[in-house]
């Protein structure tokens, strides 16, 4: 048995341990209602959004997208919205250091 990879302490739950010996879902349940309710299956995460990109089922991060898709979108935004000139684009043209 490989060390360091523990499973959720709730019987029948195969999720990796997140905190307190439970997976994220069971810990959240305990945190929310004070009981892991081990006899009730977690099922799909309810109330947690999923990425809205077609064919992607990753966890929602922002703007309806998962982390990777959001990062890609954000990079595209930066490309299209950023002005072509930066703060140093018009610095006078003298870039060489003159030593007198």
Phi/psi for 25 (5° steps) reads: -65, -45
Nearer to Zn ion, 23 or 86 (CB): 23
Hey, which bits of the chain come out as E strands?
Answer: 60-62, 65-66
What is each CA distance from 25 to 20, 28, 46, 86, in whole angstroms? 12, 5, 10, 46
> CA 92 from chain center: how many Å?
43
Among 56, 71, 74, 76, binds Zn ion (CB under 5 A): 56
Residue 69 sits in the site that holds Zn ion (CB under 5 A)? yes
Residue 36 sits in the site that holds Zn ion (CB under 5 A)? no
70-89: which residues touch Zn ion (CB under 5 A)?
A: none
Strand 60-62 vs strand 65-66: parallel, antiparallel, or unpaired? antiparallel
Among 17, 18, 21, 53, binds Zn ion (CB under 5 A): 53
Among 2, 3, 5, 8, binds Zn ion (CB under 5 A): 8
Q: How far is the CB of 42 from Zn ion (least distance, A)?
A: 6
Residue ranges binding Zn ion (CB under 5 A): 8, 10, 13, 15, 23, 26, 51, 53, 56, 58, 66, 69
């Amino acid at each position: 048995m490989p060390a360091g990879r523990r499973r959720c302490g709730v019987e029948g739950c195969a999720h990796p341990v997140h905190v307190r010996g439970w997976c994220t879902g069971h810990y959240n349940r305990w945190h929310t209602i004070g009981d892991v309710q081990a006899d009730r299956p977690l099922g799909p995460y309810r109330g947690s959004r999923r990425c809205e990109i077609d064919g992607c089922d990753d966890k929602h991060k922002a703007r309806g997208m998962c982390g990777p898709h959001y990062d890609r979108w954000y990079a595209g935004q930066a490309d299209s919205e950023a002005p072509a000139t930066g703060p140093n684009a018009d610095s006078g043209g003298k870039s060489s250091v003159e030593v007198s």
